[in-house]
Amino acid sequence: MEVFDSTAPWPSNNQSYSGTRDIFLFRLAETYLIASEAYLQAGDKSKAAERLNAVRKRAAIPVTKKI
């Protein structure tokens, strides 16, 4: 994997907001869900629930007390 190294001005020289380079987008909620799964697999259910509930609270879904 390479670091994004474009030196072109934004927007590009042809005034288009599209490009040919890939970018990485990662949602914070996805990070919390990955952390929740990792805590659960490690046996730490309280931290797993904490991370899961952060996502559920943001989405206006009732939080869970048990996993």
**DSSP per position, 11-57:** S-TTS-S--SS------HHHHHHHHHHHHHHHT-HHHHHHHHHHHHH
Residue with tokens 């991370």: 51
User: How much is the pLDDT for 3?
Assistant: 65
CA distance 10 to 31: 28
Per-residue pLDDT of the chain (67 residues; tens, 9 = 90+): 666 666 665 655 555 556 666 777 889 999 999 999 999 999 999 999 999 999 999 999 999 877 7
Helix (H, G, I), strand (E, B) or coil at 4: coil
Q: Containing H/E element for 58?
A: helix 45-58
Q: What pLDDT is attached to residue 15?
A: 57
pLDDT for position 20: 65
